[in-house]
Amino acid sequence: MTFDQFTATLDKPQPPAGLSPLLQALWYDAQGNWEAAHNVAQTREGEKSYDRIHAYLHRKEGDRFNANYWYRRAGVSFFDGSLEEEWAILVKQLLA
């Protein structure tokens, strides 16, 4: 699936079948369902890829302190770009 194909599914009521849990989390986030996205991120705390999504979600929530904790656990720096840029980068990384 390409990034454009992924974003084209955002008008659907459910994520497409076969998406990885992390892509599902970002799909739910784009739908405005932060809670569903966060629930996915919490399922495998301690795995860097899940912690990375967790960091993004807390940044989006506006909780910089908590976001910094999760960025550290993911082994990456706090993202300085826009939330939209970070979301797109995460989706593209997961689709690659």
- For 65, half-sphere exposure in the C-beta direction (CA atoms, 13 angstrom radius) is 0
The pTM for the full model equals: 0.94
Q: Which of 17, 46, 29 is nearest to 90 (CA)?
A: 29
Handedness of CA 85, 86, 91, 95 (dihedral sign): positive
CA distance 72 to 58: 13
Average pLDDT over residues 41-66: 96
Instruction: Tell me how far apart the alpha carbons of residues 24 and 76 are, in angstroms, rounded to a whole number.
Output: 22
Q: What is the pLDDT of residue 33?
A: 96
Residue 69 DSSP class: H
pLDDT classification of 6: cutoffs 50, 70, 90: very high
pLDDT tens per residue across span 70-79: 999 999 999 9
Q: The dihedral of CA 65, 71, 76, 80: what is its sign?
A: negative
